[in-house]
Amino acid sequence: MRHLLTLFDLNSHELNRILSAARVLKKMHAGGQRPAVLQHRVLALIFEKPSLRTRVSFESGMAQLGGSSLFLGDDVGFGKREAPSDFTRVLGQFVDGVVCRSFSHDTAATLAKYDCVPVINGLTDLAHPCQAMADVLTIEGEFADRPLTENHLVFVGDGNNVSRSLALICAMLGMKFTLACPNGYELDQPWMSKISERYPDAKLSQTTDPIAAVSTADAIYTDVWTSMGQEAESAQRRKDFADYQVNSDLMKHAPETAIVLHCLPAVRGEEITDDVIDGPQSRVIEQAGNRMHAQKGLLAWLLNPHWVGENVPE
Ligand code: CP
Ligand code: NVA
Question: Does one domain contain both 198 and 250?
Answer: yes
Instruction: Give the C-alpha separation, 209 to 64, whole Å.
Output: 44
pLDDT of residue 167: 98
Nearest partner of 114 among 78, 77, 85, judged by Cα? 85
Residue ranges of the binding site for L-ornithine: 161, 223, 227-228
Domain count, the chain: 2
Q: In this structure, what CATH number is given to the domain that contains residue 154?
A: 3.40.50.1370
Look at the alpha carbons of 15, 16, 20, 26 in this order and tell me if their dihedral is positive or negative: positive
Picking from 110, 97, 162, the residue whose alpha carbon sits closest to that of residue 299 is: 97
Please enumerate, by residue number, every residue annotated as part of a binding site for carbamoyl phosphate: 101, 128-131, 263-264, 291
Do 106 and 192 have their domain in common?
no
Q: Is the CB of 264 under 6 A from ligand 1?
A: yes
Which ligand sits closest to the CA of 288? 1
Average pLDDT, stretch 280-290? 98
In a domain, 314, yes or no: no
Tell me which of 181, 263, 283, 295 is the catalytic residue. 263
Find out whether 265 and 259 touch, Cβ atoms under 8 Å.
Answer: no
Phi and psi at residue 305, to the nearest 5°: -60, -25
What pLDDT does 77 receive? Answer: 87
Active site residue 295: no
**Residue 73 pLDDT:** 79
Please indicate, yes or no, whether residues 57 and 46 belong to a single structural domain of this protein: yes
Mark whether 214 and 248 lie in a shared domain. Answer: yes
Residues 21-71 have pLDDT tens digits of 999 999 999 999 999 999 999 999 999 999 999 999 999 999 999 999 999
* 30 burial via Cβ count (<10 Å: 0-12, 13-18, 19+): exposed
Q: Identify whether residues 138 and 273 lie together within a single domain.
A: yes
Q: Output the CA angle 58-224-178, nearest 5 degrees.
A: 95
Question: Which residues does ligand 2 sit against, CB inside 6 Å?
Answer: 123, 160-162, 223-224, 227-228, 263
pLDDT for residue 237: 98
- For residue 296, what pLDDT band results from cuts at 50, 70 and 90? very high
Residue 93, pLDDT score:
97
Known catalytic residue at 245: no
* pLDDT of res. 74: 76
Q: Is 285 left (phi over 0), alpha (psi -120 to 50) or beta?
A: alpha
Count CA atoms closer than 13 A to 62's CA, side-chain side: 23
Q: Tell me how far the alpha carbon of residue 123 lies from the centroid of ligand 1, in angstroms.
A: 8
Say how many Å lie between the CA of residue 311 and the centre of ligand 2.
34
Of 263, 283, 286, 292, which is best to mutate to test ligand 1, by the most ligand atoms within 8 angstroms of its C-beta? 263
- Range name among 25-34, 66-75, 126-135, 147-156 with the lowest pLDDT average: 66-75
At residue 163, the pLDDT reads: 98
Give the tens place of pLDDT for each residue, 245-261. Answer: 999 999 999 999 999 99
Sign of CA dihedral 145, 147, 148, 154: negative
Q: Which long-range contacts (CB under 8 A, 24 or more apart) does 93-96 make?
A: 94/42, 94/44, 95/42, 95/43, 95/44, 95/70, 96/41, 96/42, 96/43, 96/67, 96/303
- Which of the four pLDDT bands, split at 50, 70 and 90, describes residue 189? very high
Domain encompassing residue 169 = 130-288
Q: Report yes or no on 2 lying in a domain.
A: no
- Distance set, CA 244 to CA 224, 238, 277, 300 (Å): 11, 10, 15, 38
> Dihedral (C-alpha) 251, 216, 203, 244: value to the nearest 10 degrees?
-20
Annotated active-site residue 131? The verdict is: yes
12 and 105 housed in the same domain: yes
**242-260 as b/e: b if 16+ CB within 10 A:** eebbbeeebbeebeeebbb
Same domain (yes/no): 214, 105 = no
CA distance 177 to 202: 9
Sorted by sequence, the CB contacts under 8 Å of residue 14 that are 6+ apart come out as: 301
Question: pLDDT tens across 67-77, in order?
Answer: 999 999 778 98
What percent of the chain lies above the pLDDT cut of 70? 100
Q: How far apart are CA 14 and CA 20, in angstroms?
A: 10
**Is 181 in the active site?**
no
Is position 274 within any domain? yes
Mean pLDDT of the chain: 97
Of 16-20, 82-86, 95-99, 307-311, minimum mean pLDDT range: 82-86
CA of 61 to the centre of ligand 1 (A): 15
Domain check: are 208 and 223 in the same one?
Answer: yes
The pLDDT tens digits of the residues spanning 171-187 come to 999 999 999 999 999 99
DSSP-assigned beta bridge partners for residue 71: 45
**Per-residue 3-state assignment (H helix, E strand, C coil) for 5-62:** CCHHHCCHHHHHHHHHHHHHHHHHHHCCCCCCCCCCCEEEEEECCCCCHHHHHHHHHH
How confident is residue 79, by pLDDT bands cut at 50, 70 and 90? confident
Task: Find out whether 149 and 186 touch, Cβ atoms under 8 Å.
Answer: no
What does the DSSP 8-state code read for residue 282?
B
